[in-house]
A and B are shown apart, each in its own frame.
Chain A
């Protein structure tokens, strides 16, 4: 990268450009926006990042990120602790929380079974899920994993492991997206939508 600026700015741009959604050009724009208003933008951001680095940790119950352990969701008595939604990543958990549609708690696996990525059953964050199920507090586990070969394989594997415990295991539906029309869907999605049909 060629910048007509000092080493500190170059370092800031280089670090910003490694973030998801950022390339060298957008990193330069972000750095410039921060540096031109240091008191309003840069210093608060630096403090927030330092605080996050110091305080944010992985929840020992569900595996999400929070400044407290257990996290705010797991510690919330208003939540339904008998309803556990299993998701692949923290980003999936945030998506469900944004939609305000799940009032239970979560389990973040940290990935799916994938031989290509070298991720086996031992690499998934499932121990605390099985502990919660064994303790008897869970009545239903919702498998909200991706509609991919790896996601479905992981869902089947979890179902197989959970079935002997007697807990109800459900999974999110696959099919026609809201606002979507049938003619643009691939035949796999159409087949999933048809096989998951229900009385009108």
Chain B
């Protein structure tokens, strides 16, 4: 088997002294692992950083085997973000979610396209990282894997307006009027999750991360008795701090 296609680097770990084992996300083949000979060398180490888009060649006798991988850079995102704590945390978080949440050998073209769009946006807007876009990508990942949130109408009243909560059990939106006595048990639904024109505020991002985090933990990681990746916890920590800072500022 041999595939030559663009792929996103999801993770890398050392193998021996000079080699690395990488996990790559392909549009048509899903997540595949492969051995890169000399991947830890000075020449190649910057290529195989998580979040980079690489024109890679994957070869193996059978599709289920650990392949041999070679590659050329298309887009080096990670190297641009080393000085931007929030952008770096955002990239590391979403890549680790993809690494831990996506099944191997299962094509996810929509998730791939949206993740490429997201990491490109993180690289371009490193000074104002697109956290809202990342939360929407997490919701779309959940949908692609069969755990989509239903945010277009209220699960109780059927209303399409004033949707401000989500049921933590069903993932369906609930309007303010429909929340009733369950209001304390419901997850807040930030407006940017419904409208793509709204980019939200840091406190909205925090609510969005808590919302998708609940379902990611429950459906993708919890079923394998794994916690959410530490990279995502760090992102939540940074967004929470940003939210508190903006709340403390005059007019915030």
Contacts and interface: CB of A to CB of B under 8 A. Distances in A.
Interface of A: 20-21, 113, 115-117, 120, 147-149, 152-153, 156-157, 159-160, 174, 186-189, 191-192, 195
Interface stretch (B57-65, B86-94, B140-148): B86-94
Interface string B166-208: 0000000000000000000000000000000000000000000
A189 B85 contact: no
Contacts of B109: none
Contact of B17 (A21, A115, A149, A186): A21
B62 to A, nearest CB: 26
A192 B91 CA distance: 17
Interface string B222-252: 0000000111001000000000000000000
Given A186-B76, A192-B82, A195-B83, A149 B229 contact: no
Nearest to A146: B45
Contact of B79 (A20, A157, A160, A191): A191
A91 to B, nearest CB: 12
Interface in B1-56: 11, 13, 17, 45-47, 49-52
Nearest to B232: A115
A152 B234 CA distance: 13
A187 B79 contact: yes
Contacts of B73: 186-187
Given A20-B17, A117-B13, A156-B88, A192 B80 contact: yes
A188 B77 contact: yes
A57 to B, nearest CB: 26
A153 B88 contact: yes
B75 to A, nearest CB: 8
Contact of B80 (A20, A148, A188): A188
A188 B49 contact: yes
Given A21-B17, A156-B85, A188 B46 contact: yes
A149 B91 contact: yes
A140 B234 CA distance: 25
B76 A188 contact: yes
7 contacts: A115-B231, A149-B91, A152-B82, A156-B88, A156-B89, A187-B79, A188-B78
B212 interface: no
Contact of A115 (B80, B83, B229): B229
A153 B11 contact: no
A21 B80 CA distance: 32
Contacts of B108: none
A195 B230 CA distance: 28
B49 A149 contact: yes
Contacts of B229: 115
B230 A115 contact: yes
A188 B52 CA distance: 10
B81 to A, nearest CB: 8
B38 to A, nearest CB: 15
A153 B49 contact: no
B18 to A, nearest CB: 10
B46 A189 contact: yes
Given A156-B88, A187-B73, A192-B83, A149 B78 contact: yes
Contacts of A191: 76, 79-80
Nearest to B80: A191
A174 B82 contact: yes
Contacts of A21: 17
A117 to B, nearest CB: 7
